[in-house]
Structure 1
Amino acid sequence: IVFNGDFVPFGYFVFLIGSFLMGTAAAMLQVVINPYIAAYPLPGTSAVQRMNFTCAVNSFGTTIAPLFVTGIMFAGVPLDSVTASQLTLPFILMTLCIVVTTMTTRRLALPDIEGTRTATNSNTPASSGEKAKSVWSFRNLKYGVITIFFYVGTEVSIGNNINLHAMELAAGGAALSPALLATIYWGGFLIGRMVSASMKNVKPRPMLITVTLGAIALMTAAMLTENLWLLAAVGLFHSVMWSCVFTLAVDGLGEYTSRASGVFMMGVFGGAVFPVLQGMLADWIGSWQFTWIIALVCEFVLLWYGIRGYRK
């Protein structure tokens, strides 16, 4: 296929379709899991605590992936020398993992949680005959969707673009490992979520305000000093933001919780917007250093939600 005079391999479009399907599947999975975990009445735990624990399991994969790919799968092989044949076995193994997971979850009998869904055969709430509300009428959810748009934007911007910034500095002689920086960043998610999962009496709102202030301070220092190790450490503060925002966004929604979860997931689109905007800014000014102001603006949106946006 020829595009603007350049040849684009057909396999590239297969990759795009596969990426789209993976993203869609992940979104559907989150829509199902998030409200279930938040509403499940597990004694002695809070909703944000349960959310952080399940998110910690997810963070385990994102932590080991960068080093696994660069240090084990393609150890000592330059990126431009990787061939399709080297990807065959890893992709087959990942496919087998997906099949095993699918067969396992199909046999699980998870109890239904009452009061989290509207009636399936009508547009009215299950508990009464009153006219159904729009999920957008809930202020905390509406602003929660907007906030998660900015949160995923700053989360993915750092996770993706810190590597490009590191390569820019490495070209100038700095001793930086892009894979190690990514591992530290995503590893901060794992550590932060595991620690917060052990904290029983912490409320989501003060937790969100605290970690956002920490992220703002650390990101500002990292940008001004161009210290990417400080930027990677922001992952520790980002770790609990998703759980806090989701918990606050669905608080008090009752039987609208499941429907609200689907609406909430629309906000993850920010992860497809802000990294690109940052890359365009980097091309325009010729450096990555001050492009992190975009991610910093996202942090202030999170701070606003913790101070005022969460209100019902």
Structure 2
Amino acid sequence: MEPKKNYALPIVMMFALFFMIAFVTNLQSPLGVIVKEQFALDTFRSQWGTFANFLAYACMGIPAGAMLRRYGYRRTALAAVVVGFAGVGVTLLSGRGEGSFPLYLAGAFVSGFSMCMLNTVVNPMLNTLGGGGRRGNQLIQFGGVCNSVGGTLAPVLGGYLMGNAVGGRVISTADPVFFLAMGIFALTFLVLFRARIPEPFVVNEPRRGERTGALSFRHFRLGVAAIFVYVGVEVGIPSIANFYMTGTGAGALDMDTAVAGTIVGTYWFLMLVGRLAGGLLGGRVSSRPMLAATASLGLVLVVLGMYLSPETGVRMPVFRGGTSLSFGMETVPVGLMCFVLCGLCTSVMWGAIFNLAVEGLGKYTPMASGIFMTMVVGGGVLPALQGWIADMTDYATSYWLIFGCLLYILYYALAGSRNVNRTAPVAE
């Protein structure tokens, strides 16, 4: 009888990479506020950094899947870490002197290449190590907890560093965060370089038909669309909420930027809480009902957020940054509280959609993961579109785009995720 293999170290390494994906990606939220002021941009153009970050997914998703298939998890992850270090370094340089908006966009784009490659590795690997199904979803949810820790820290630290002084909001004020990210990348590279990671799908020659093979599955095609709108929802809710609180457009609330940073940080903290709960329940509750329930609740919260009066305040605990991370009470418009609570809903959606979309794909999984990552570009396209809607109307009205996206995710959970191609050959 073959002894049971211990995959504890590979799982821990994937969790660490999950942290870095969110930390670097969510730096774009506070940086969007900074560059808007530093370069006198409107809301639409202030989202170009986020768009550049996610545009890289459209360019790199399929090549990353091919790298994963050809070179394996470890070598693909090592390359991604090097690219991530370089991307954050370029962003750091964009703050030198008077600052350079094109260089800032270049840094966001290069960082996006890294995040795409890392996502291509960590999701199928955790799903594989868990054996797919509920256990695979459970590991992805626990990885999502680490992802949410990074997502929580990035806007909180960014909001704290940018301060309240208008003249002080420049890219260089975030230098400590950039140095922290580069240090974590360097440490991760050293650990990964020495680690042994199982490589279940590595082949020496590329196989024809893998891309089309994955796309022949209806539930995968619909899942690709679901991840496009999901990432737009996940990023759009807190990003536009930040402008809603601190911006100068129609309906802006003119709130303190440090307080706004803690409120946005609370959204990501609630994603952490939700993913932890999803991980604990993942062994007992399958992905389909989990996704349907959270999408339904999200629809209710978004409608309440749009229509409850911003003049009505409510005291709520928020996650604070500063010299010591802690919780405190702040008076928050009740509608914004509803948007923040959406973090509990979006928390488990990524893992559930990925788990459902790759169900039964077998040998097509690595290439499918690359295609899947291509559609993460939705996190750049949809927030930019939402910012444009906010410029044309007001911030609250722009959340109708979020409502439509959640409606599609609910459809995918209830009907679109069912595998109708169960007889297709997928074995090695």
When normalised by structure 2's length, the TM-score is 0.64
Which residue of the partner structure matches residue 121 of structure 1?
Answer: 205
Mapped partners of 1:123, 1:289: distance in 2: 48
Unaligned runs of 5+ in 2: 1-93, 310-334, 420-428
Which residue of the partner structure matches residue 392 of structure 2?
Answer: 284
Pair 1:196-2:196 in alignment = no
Cα deviation code 1:184-232 (max 9, x no counterpart)? 1111110000111112211000100011101011111111115101111
Pair 1:34-2:118 in alignment = no
Mapped partners of 1:27, 1:175: distance in 2: 30
Pair 1:66-2:149 in alignment = no
Q: Which residue identity lines up with residue 242 of structure 2 in the other structure?
A: N
Work out the percentage of aligned pairs sharing the same amino acid.
Answer: 30
Q: 1:169 to 1:255 in 2, by over 3 A?
A: same
Mapped partners of 2:211, 2:386: distance in 1: 41
Tell whether the 8 Å contact from 1:135 to 1:259 is kept in structure 2 after alignment: yes
Pair 1:237-2:345 in alignment = yes
Unaligned runs of 5+ in 1: 1-7, 126-130
Mapped partners of 2:414, 2:178: distance in 1: 45
Question: Which residue, out of 125, 144, 149, partners 1:55?
Answer: 144
Mapped partners of 1:122, 1:43: distance in 2: 24
Which residue of the partner structure matches residue 17 of structure 1?
Answer: 106
Which residue of the partner structure matches residue 5 of structure 1?
Answer: none
Question: Which residue, out of 359, 363, 373, partners 1:255?
Answer: 363
The residue matched to 1:198 in structure 2 has which SS?
helix
Mapped partners of 1:278, 1:55: distance in 2: 25
The residue matched to 1:251 in structure 2 has which SS?
coil
Q: 1:256 to 1:105 in 2, by over 3 A?
A: same
Question: Which residue, out of 417, 420, 424, partners 1:310?
Answer: 417
Mapped partners of 1:202, 1:219: distance in 2: 25
Tell whether the 8 Å contact from 1:166 to 1:176 is kept in structure 2 after alignment: no
Pair 1:92-2:179 in alignment = yes
The residue matched to 2:253 in structure 1 has which SS?
helix
Q: 1:193 to 1:90 in 2, by over 3 A?
A: closer
Cα deviation code 1:84-106 (max 9, x no counterpart)? 65444443333222111111111
Question: Which residue, out of 212, 220, 225, partners 1:141?
Answer: 220
Which residue of the partner structure matches residue 112 of structure 1?
Answer: 199
Q: How many residues align?
A: 293
Q: 1:36 to 1:84 in 2, by over 3 A?
A: closer
The residue matched to 2:100 in structure 1 has which SS?
helix
CA shift, 1:266, in A, is 1.2
RMSD: 2.6
CA shift, 1:177, in A, is 2.9
Q: 1:90 to 1:298 in 2, by over 3 A?
A: closer
Mapped partners of 1:51, 1:85: distance in 2: 35
Mapped partners of 1:85, 1:225: distance in 2: 38
CA shift, 1:16, in A, is 1.4
Q: Which residue identity lines up with residue 190 of structure 2 in the other structure?
A: M
Mapped partners of 1:294, 1:151: distance in 2: 12
Mapped partners of 2:144, 2:303: distance in 1: 26
Cα deviation code 1:11-53 (max 9, x no counterpart)? 3222211111111101100101111111114699611111000
Mapped partners of 1:139, 1:104: distance in 2: 39
Mapped partners of 2:370, 2:124: distance in 1: 9
Question: Which residue, out of 188, 192, 208, partners 1:101?
Answer: 188
Q: 1:62 to 1:121 in 2, by over 3 A?
A: same
The residue matched to 1:98 in structure 2 has which SS?
helix
Which residue of the partner structure matches residue 293 of structure 1?
Answer: 400
Which residue of the partner structure matches residue 4 of structure 1?
Answer: none
Cα deviation code 1:218-274 (max 9, x no counterpart)? 111111115101111100010000000000000000111111000001111111111
Which residue of the partner structure matches residue 166 of structure 1?
Answer: 245
